[in-house]
Amino acid sequence: MAIKRIMVIGAGQMGGGIAQVAAEAGLEVVLNDIDRTFIDNRLAFIGKLLDKNIAKGRISEDDKVAIMSRLIPSTDLADAAGVDFVVEAAVEKMEIKEKIFRTLDEVAAPGVILASNTSSLPITELAAVTGRPELVIGMHFMNPVPVMKLIEVIRGIATSDATYATVKELAEKMGKVPVEVNDYPGFISNRVLMPMINEAIYCIYEGVADAESIDTVMKLGMAHPMGPLTLADFIGLDTCLAIMEVLYEGFADSKYRPCPLLRKMVKAGWLGKKSGKGFFDYQNS
Protein backbone atom coordinates (compact mmCIF):
# COMPACT_ATOMS: atom_id res chain seq x y z
CA MET A 1 0.00 0.00 0.00
CA ALA A 2 1.39 3.43 -0.97
CA ILE A 3 1.39 5.74 2.07
CA LYS A 4 0.09 9.17 1.11
CA ARG A 5 -2.11 10.16 4.05
CA ILE A 6 -1.27 9.47 7.69
CA MET A 7 -2.79 10.21 11.08
CA VAL A 8 -0.69 11.52 13.95
CA ILE A 9 -2.38 11.19 17.34
CA GLY A 10 -1.34 13.85 19.83
CA ALA A 11 -0.68 17.51 19.02
CA GLY A 12 1.97 17.98 21.70
CA GLN A 13 5.66 18.56 21.16
CA MET A 14 6.36 15.09 19.76
CA GLY A 15 3.18 14.63 17.75
CA GLY A 16 3.41 18.15 16.36
CA GLY A 17 7.00 17.54 15.32
CA ILE A 18 6.11 14.25 13.62
CA ALA A 19 3.22 15.95 11.81
CA GLN A 20 5.52 18.73 10.62
CA VAL A 21 8.23 16.47 9.17
CA ALA A 22 5.61 14.26 7.53
CA ALA A 23 3.93 17.27 5.90
CA GLU A 24 7.31 18.59 4.79
CA ALA A 25 7.93 15.19 3.18
CA GLY A 26 4.80 15.62 1.06
CA LEU A 27 2.37 13.51 3.08
CA GLU A 28 -1.14 14.58 4.01
CA VAL A 29 -1.33 14.54 7.80
CA VAL A 30 -4.49 14.21 9.88
CA LEU A 31 -3.37 15.74 13.21
CA ASN A 32 -5.62 14.34 15.93
CA ASP A 33 -6.11 15.42 19.53
CA ILE A 34 -8.95 15.46 22.01
CA ASP A 35 -9.09 19.28 22.06
CA ARG A 36 -9.19 21.43 18.92
CA THR A 37 -7.42 24.21 20.83
CA PHE A 38 -4.34 21.98 21.24
CA ILE A 39 -4.30 21.38 17.50
CA ASP A 40 -4.74 25.04 16.59
CA ASN A 41 -1.95 26.05 18.96
CA ARG A 42 0.37 23.42 17.46
CA LEU A 43 -0.44 24.49 13.89
CA ALA A 44 0.33 28.10 14.82
CA PHE A 45 3.64 26.97 16.34
CA ILE A 46 4.53 25.00 13.20
CA GLY A 47 3.73 28.07 11.13
CA LYS A 48 6.19 30.12 13.20
CA LEU A 49 8.91 27.48 12.76
CA LEU A 50 8.34 27.54 9.01
CA ASP A 51 8.57 31.34 9.05
CA LYS A 52 12.02 31.01 10.61
CA ASN A 53 13.02 28.61 7.83
CA ILE A 54 11.78 31.15 5.27
CA ALA A 55 13.88 33.86 6.93
CA LYS A 56 16.93 31.58 6.72
CA GLY A 57 16.29 30.86 3.05
CA ARG A 58 15.62 27.15 3.60
CA ILE A 59 12.10 27.21 2.18
CA SER A 60 9.91 29.63 0.25
CA GLU A 61 6.60 31.20 1.21
CA ASP A 62 4.93 28.88 -1.32
CA ASP A 63 6.56 25.90 0.42
CA LYS A 64 5.06 27.02 3.73
CA VAL A 65 1.58 27.36 2.20
CA ALA A 66 1.83 23.86 0.72
CA ILE A 67 3.08 22.31 3.96
CA MET A 68 0.37 23.94 6.09
CA SER A 69 -2.31 22.86 3.58
CA ARG A 70 -1.31 19.25 4.15
CA LEU A 71 -2.01 19.49 7.92
CA ILE A 72 -5.64 18.55 8.61
CA PRO A 73 -7.15 18.96 12.11
CA SER A 74 -9.09 16.08 13.69
CA THR A 75 -10.72 15.50 17.06
CA ASP A 76 -12.23 12.10 16.21
CA LEU A 77 -10.24 8.86 16.03
CA ALA A 78 -12.82 7.61 13.55
CA ASP A 79 -10.99 9.78 11.01
CA ALA A 80 -8.36 7.00 10.96
CA ALA A 81 -10.72 5.23 8.56
CA GLY A 82 -9.42 7.46 5.79
CA VAL A 83 -5.64 7.14 6.28
CA ASP A 84 -2.93 4.77 5.09
CA PHE A 85 -0.82 4.79 8.28
CA VAL A 86 -1.15 5.85 11.93
CA VAL A 87 1.45 7.14 14.40
CA GLU A 88 0.32 7.48 18.01
CA ALA A 89 2.14 10.08 20.12
CA ALA A 90 -0.18 10.36 23.11
CA VAL A 91 0.82 10.57 26.77
CA GLU A 92 3.24 7.86 27.95
CA LYS A 93 0.67 5.77 29.86
CA MET A 94 -0.06 2.20 28.80
CA GLU A 95 -3.76 2.28 29.67
CA ILE A 96 -4.29 5.34 27.45
CA LYS A 97 -2.29 3.91 24.56
CA GLU A 98 -4.11 0.58 24.79
CA LYS A 99 -7.47 2.36 24.62
CA ILE A 100 -6.33 4.27 21.54
CA PHE A 101 -5.03 1.13 19.83
CA ARG A 102 -8.25 -0.77 20.49
CA THR A 103 -10.21 2.02 18.82
CA LEU A 104 -7.76 2.29 15.91
CA ASP A 105 -7.98 -1.45 15.33
CA GLU A 106 -11.74 -1.07 14.91
CA VAL A 107 -11.77 1.99 12.65
CA ALA A 108 -8.59 1.78 10.55
CA ALA A 109 -8.79 -0.13 7.30
CA PRO A 110 -7.42 -3.69 7.20
CA GLY A 111 -3.73 -3.67 6.38
CA VAL A 112 -3.07 -0.23 7.88
CA ILE A 113 0.01 -0.18 10.14
CA LEU A 114 -0.42 1.19 13.65
CA ALA A 115 2.78 2.71 15.03
CA SER A 116 3.54 4.10 18.49
CA ASN A 117 6.03 6.82 19.36
CA THR A 118 6.43 5.36 22.85
CA SER A 119 9.84 5.94 24.38
CA SER A 120 9.82 2.87 26.62
CA LEU A 121 6.51 0.95 26.75
CA PRO A 122 6.35 -2.57 25.23
CA ILE A 123 5.19 -2.75 21.61
CA THR A 124 4.27 -6.42 22.03
CA GLU A 125 1.81 -5.49 24.79
CA LEU A 126 0.22 -2.76 22.66
CA ALA A 127 -0.06 -5.13 19.70
CA ALA A 128 -1.82 -7.73 21.86
CA VAL A 129 -4.92 -5.52 22.30
CA THR A 130 -5.44 -5.45 18.52
CA GLY A 131 -6.43 -8.01 15.95
CA ARG A 132 -3.47 -7.03 13.76
CA PRO A 133 -0.34 -7.59 15.92
CA GLU A 134 1.79 -8.18 12.84
CA LEU A 135 1.00 -4.58 11.79
CA VAL A 136 1.92 -2.91 15.11
CA ILE A 137 5.37 -1.36 15.49
CA GLY A 138 7.25 1.30 17.42
CA MET A 139 8.56 4.52 15.82
CA HIS A 140 10.47 6.32 18.55
CA PHE A 141 11.29 9.78 17.19
CA MET A 142 13.85 11.91 18.99
CA ASN A 143 13.12 15.39 20.34
CA PRO A 144 13.06 17.92 18.69
CA VAL A 145 11.67 15.88 15.81
CA PRO A 146 12.38 18.38 12.99
CA VAL A 147 16.07 18.45 13.97
CA MET A 148 17.00 14.97 15.20
CA LYS A 149 17.71 12.37 12.52
CA LEU A 150 17.21 9.14 14.49
CA ILE A 151 14.11 6.96 14.66
CA GLU A 152 14.25 3.78 16.73
CA VAL A 153 12.04 1.29 14.87
CA ILE A 154 10.91 -1.26 17.47
CA ARG A 155 9.69 -4.66 16.43
CA GLY A 156 7.23 -6.44 18.70
CA ILE A 157 7.29 -10.22 18.91
CA ALA A 158 4.67 -10.45 16.12
CA THR A 159 5.74 -7.51 13.91
CA SER A 160 6.14 -8.74 10.34
CA ASP A 161 9.12 -8.15 8.06
CA ALA A 162 6.81 -6.36 5.61
CA THR A 163 5.66 -3.95 8.34
CA TYR A 164 9.24 -3.17 9.29
CA ALA A 165 10.21 -2.63 5.64
CA THR A 166 7.31 -0.21 5.12
CA VAL A 167 8.18 1.79 8.24
CA LYS A 168 11.86 1.91 7.30
CA GLU A 169 10.94 3.33 3.90
CA LEU A 170 8.57 5.86 5.47
CA ALA A 171 11.21 6.99 7.97
CA GLU A 172 13.69 7.54 5.16
CA LYS A 173 11.09 9.49 3.17
CA MET A 174 10.82 11.81 6.19
CA GLY A 175 14.57 12.35 6.04
CA LYS A 176 15.27 10.23 9.12
CA VAL A 177 17.72 7.41 9.83
CA PRO A 178 15.84 4.31 11.08
CA VAL A 179 17.59 1.89 13.45
CA GLU A 180 16.03 -1.53 14.02
CA VAL A 181 15.55 -2.44 17.69
CA ASN A 182 13.87 -5.40 19.37
CA ASP A 183 11.21 -4.96 22.01
CA TYR A 184 12.92 -4.73 25.40
CA PRO A 185 12.29 -2.11 28.12
CA GLY A 186 13.76 1.26 27.18
CA PHE A 187 14.82 -0.04 23.73
CA ILE A 188 18.38 1.28 23.11
CA SER A 189 18.20 5.02 23.64
CA ASN A 190 16.51 5.14 27.02
CA ARG A 191 18.05 1.93 28.34
CA VAL A 192 21.45 3.62 27.97
CA LEU A 193 20.51 7.27 28.56
CA MET A 194 18.15 7.10 31.54
CA PRO A 195 20.44 5.13 33.89
CA MET A 196 23.13 7.75 33.17
CA ILE A 197 20.71 10.54 34.07
CA ASN A 198 19.56 8.61 37.14
CA GLU A 199 23.18 8.13 38.24
CA ALA A 200 23.84 11.85 37.80
CA ILE A 201 20.88 12.51 40.11
CA TYR A 202 22.33 10.05 42.62
CA CYS A 203 25.55 12.12 42.56
CA ILE A 204 23.55 15.13 43.80
CA TYR A 205 21.58 12.99 46.25
CA GLU A 206 24.78 11.60 47.77
CA GLY A 207 26.52 14.98 47.89
CA VAL A 208 29.22 14.16 45.32
CA ALA A 209 28.80 17.53 43.56
CA ASP A 210 26.22 20.12 42.55
CA ALA A 211 24.26 20.04 39.29
CA GLU A 212 26.45 22.58 37.49
CA SER A 213 29.63 20.64 38.31
CA ILE A 214 28.15 17.31 37.18
CA ASP A 215 27.01 18.77 33.86
CA THR A 216 30.36 20.52 33.33
CA VAL A 217 32.28 17.26 33.82
CA MET A 218 30.11 15.44 31.29
CA LYS A 219 30.27 18.26 28.73
CA LEU A 220 33.98 19.00 28.94
CA GLY A 221 35.24 15.57 29.93
CA MET A 222 32.99 13.37 27.78
CA ALA A 223 32.22 15.82 24.93
CA HIS A 224 28.47 15.64 25.58
CA PRO A 225 26.71 18.62 23.95
CA MET A 226 24.44 18.94 26.99
CA GLY A 227 24.91 17.81 30.59
CA PRO A 228 22.69 14.95 31.82
CA LEU A 229 20.85 17.09 34.37
CA THR A 230 20.07 19.84 31.89
CA LEU A 231 18.91 17.13 29.50
CA ALA A 232 16.69 15.65 32.22
CA ASP A 233 15.13 19.07 32.78
CA PHE A 234 14.43 19.39 29.05
CA ILE A 235 12.94 15.88 28.81
CA GLY A 236 10.83 16.44 31.92
CA LEU A 237 11.62 14.84 35.27
CA ASP A 238 8.21 13.17 35.35
CA THR A 239 9.00 11.52 32.01
CA CYS A 240 12.44 10.47 33.27
CA LEU A 241 10.85 8.91 36.35
CA ALA A 242 8.21 7.10 34.27
CA ILE A 243 10.89 5.59 32.01
CA MET A 244 13.02 4.52 34.98
CA GLU A 245 9.94 2.83 36.46
CA VAL A 246 9.43 0.90 33.21
CA LEU A 247 13.09 -0.21 33.27
CA TYR A 248 12.94 -1.11 36.98
CA GLU A 249 9.74 -3.12 36.58
CA GLY A 250 10.71 -4.65 33.24
CA PHE A 251 14.14 -5.95 34.29
CA ALA A 252 13.53 -6.40 38.06
CA ASP A 253 17.11 -5.22 38.55
CA SER A 254 18.09 -2.78 41.32
CA LYS A 255 20.47 -0.92 39.00
CA TYR A 256 17.41 0.68 37.44
CA ARG A 257 15.92 1.87 40.76
CA PRO A 258 14.85 5.52 40.39
CA CYS A 259 16.80 7.85 42.66
CA PRO A 260 14.71 8.98 45.67
CA LEU A 261 15.61 12.60 44.85
CA LEU A 262 14.02 12.20 41.42
CA ARG A 263 10.82 10.92 43.03
CA LYS A 264 10.81 13.79 45.54
CA MET A 265 11.27 16.46 42.86
CA VAL A 266 8.45 15.03 40.75
CA LYS A 267 6.14 14.99 43.79
CA ALA A 268 7.09 18.62 44.45
CA GLY A 269 6.09 19.54 40.90
CA TRP A 270 9.68 20.40 39.96
CA LEU A 271 9.50 18.82 36.52
CA GLY A 272 12.23 20.77 34.74
CA LYS A 273 11.93 23.41 32.02
CA LYS A 274 8.19 22.94 31.48
CA SER A 275 7.41 23.76 35.13
CA GLY A 276 10.07 26.48 35.45
CA LYS A 277 12.16 24.57 37.96
CA GLY A 278 14.13 21.34 37.97
CA PHE A 279 17.82 20.87 38.61
CA PHE A 280 18.15 24.38 37.21
CA ASP A 281 15.87 27.44 37.36
CA TYR A 282 14.01 28.39 34.17
CA GLN A 283 11.51 30.88 35.56
CA ASN A 284 13.29 33.86 34.01
CA SER A 285 14.34 32.14 30.78
Are residues 21 and 138 part of one domain? yes
User: What was the pLDDT predicted at 285?
Assistant: 63
Cα–Cα–Cα angle for 97, 118, 95, rounded to 5 degrees = 25
Residue 255 in domain: yes
Q: Among the three residues 182, 212, 229, which one is the final residue of a domain in this structure?
A: 182
Q: Tell me, what CATH number does 204's domain have? A: 1.10.1040.10
User: What was the pLDDT predicted at 198?
Assistant: 98
Q: Among the three residues 152, 182, 212, which one is the final residue of a domain in this structure?
A: 182
Instruction: Show binding-site residues.
Output: 10-15, 33, 92, 97, 119, 143, 274
C-alpha 253/C-alpha 251 separation (Å) is: 5
Peptide bond into 228 cis (omega under 30): no
Domain ranges, residue 227: 190-275
Residue 155 in domain: yes
Q: Among the three residues 150, 182, 214, which one is the final residue of a domain in this structure?
A: 182
Instruction: Show binding-site residues for NAD(+).
Output: 10-15, 33, 92, 97, 119, 143, 274
Are residues 136 and 31 part of one domain? yes
Are residues 207 and 164 part of one domain? no
C-alpha 116/C-alpha 154 separation (Å) is: 9
User: Splitting the chain (285 residues) into consecutive groups of 10 residues, what average pLDDT does each group show?
Assistant: 93 96 98 96 97 96 97 98 97 94 98 95 96 98 94 98 97 98 94 97 98 98 97 94 94 97 98 96 83
Are residues 133 and 105 part of one domain? yes
Are residues 225 and 165 part of one domain? no
Question: Are residues 133 and 158 in contact, defined by beta-carbon separation less than 8 angstroms?
Answer: yes
Are residues 74 and 165 part of one domain? yes
**Count of domains forming the chain:** 2
Are residues 163 and 117 part of one domain? yes
Residue 285 in domain: no
Q: Tell me, what CATH number does 108's domain have? A: 3.40.50.720
Q: What is the 3-state secondary structure (H, E, C) of the chain?
A: CCCCEEEEECCCHHHHHHHHHHHHCCCEEEEECCCHHHHHHHHHHHHHHHHHHHHCCCCCHHHHHHHHHCEEEECCHHHHHHCCEEEECCCCCHHHHHHHHHHHHHHCCCCCEEEECCCCCCHHHHHCCCCCHHHEEEEEECCCCCCCCEEEEEECCCCCHHHHHHHHHHHHHCCCEEEEEECCCCCCHHHHHHHHHHHHHHHHHCCCCCHHHHHHHHHHHHCCCCCHHHHHHHHCHHHHHHHHHHHHHHHCCHHHCCCHHHHHHHHCCCCEHHHCECCCECCCC
Catalytic site positions: 119, 140, 152, 190
Residue 263 in domain: yes
Residue 122 in domain: yes
Are residues 207 and 135 part of one domain? no
Are residues 72 and 206 part of one domain? no
User: What was the pLDDT predicted at 208?
Assistant: 98
Question: Quick check: pTM over 0.85?
Answer: yes
Cα–Cα–Cα angle for 220, 222, 228, rounded to 5 degrees = 85
Residue 79 in domain: yes
User: What was the pLDDT predicted at 284?
Assistant: 76
Are residues 246 and 225 part of one domain? yes
Residue 283 in domain: no
Residue 31 in domain: yes
